[in-house]
Structure 1
Amino acid sequence: MHKVASVQTGDRADRDAYRRAVGRFATGITIVTTRLDEIDYAMTVNSFASVSLDPLLALICVEKVARFHGAVLSAGVWGVSVLEESAEDASRFFAHRGRPLEGQLEGHPHHHGRLGVALFDDALATVECRTVAVHDGGDHSIVVGEVVAVATPADGSPLLYHEGRYRRLSG
């Protein structure tokens, strides 16, 4: 028999219960970048998804209060680097709010792709997108982009996030 715990307040599910429930969905970890006025912006994101194969579309969700939000909407282009399991330190660094923009990519081997956005050299995959739509998603914006370039620069296992912790695939 399965244990069923349902927590609701009025017409809505409880926020903490919802957070615990969706935390059971394992996600890959990416660093998403954009470039605006010759400044590189980067942020750890696990809300990245393929949307369509015809046309090629992907999406990211960006918190509206993040400085990355304004930059990516203004720039209209963005890159996604799918992190390899040894990249936990990079993921933690780019998840930290308020870090200085200047020099933030130093020490993280990268290059600028076709759209001018930074892409990590040791990523399992990179995707470059041009924004085609932005949708309201509560405290986030859902940014949909047309995929204009892809690469698979490295082989390896992905870095995962599950139940509030970094995880790795086991054999």
Structure 2
Amino acid sequence: MDDRLFRNAMGSFATGVTVIATETNAGAHGMTANAFMSQSLEPKLVIISLKEDAHMLTKIKESGQFSVNVLSENQQDLSRIFAGQVQSEKEIMFDYLDGKPVIPGAIAQVACNVKSEYVEGDHIIFIGQVTDIHLEEEEPLIFSKGKYRTLEKAVIAK
């Protein structure tokens, strides 16, 4: 099977856009990712998947913790910065939730401790035990078919 065909098919699945963040002795670090999902309600677990050569991989292994930050439709610039697509002159400031760095203004901030990790293909899958959550009332940033997208505002019929 052709790699491009596979990538195009997987890219057809619309996802939210997240920034995975962690902190080591060298400071806070973040990376844009869409390989995120909830895994369990009891206990509260989430899954992230990082490519085996991602710089973030060693940082999460060192810290043993991470946060998942679901970006709002107004945070496309942060997605591009943390994806390494653009350089930012300004320093990115983090807030903290249960001692983990989080992106201010993200519509969901999910703080996690690493519970387990698995090697599958060319990725490492981390299972995170959720330790805290913070929510904001904003619309999500969406990614599908290689483009950023937004949701139409819901209209309630009267």
Judge same fold: TM > 0.5, yes or no: yes
2:26 equivalent to 1:51: no
The Cα of 1:38 is off from its aligned counterpart by 4.7
Runs of 4+ in 1 over 3 A off after TM superposition: none
2:74 aligns to what SS in structure 1? coil
TM-score, normalised relative to structure 1:
0.83
Alignment of 1:2-41 (within 5 A): 13-41=1-29
Give CA deviations for 1:110-153 in whole Å, capped at 9, x if unaligned: 31221x2211120101101111111112111011111111110x
Partner in structure 2 of residue 167 of structure 1: 149
Partner in structure 2 of residue 137 of structure 1: 120
The root-mean-square deviation of aligned C-alpha atoms, in Å, is: 2.0
**Which among 111, 133, 136 is matched to residue 95 of structure 2?**
111
Q: How many residues matched?
A: 153
State, as a whole percentage, how many aligned pairs show the same letter.
32
1:121 aligns to what SS in structure 2? coil
- Distance (whole Å) between structure 2 residues aligned to residue 134 and residue 27 of structure 1: 23
- Distance (whole Å) between structure 1 residues aligned to residue 79 and residue 29 of structure 2: 14
Partner in structure 1 of residue 62 of structure 2: 74
Give the gaps of 5 or more residues in structure 2: 154-158
Give the gaps of 5 or more residues in structure 1: 1-12
| Bigger radius of gyration among the two | 1
Alignment of 1:88-127 (within 5 A): 88-96=76-84, 106-108=91-93, 110-114=94-98, 116-127=99-110
TM-score, normalised relative to structure 2:
0.90
Which amino acid is the alignment partner of residue 139 of structure 1? Answer: D
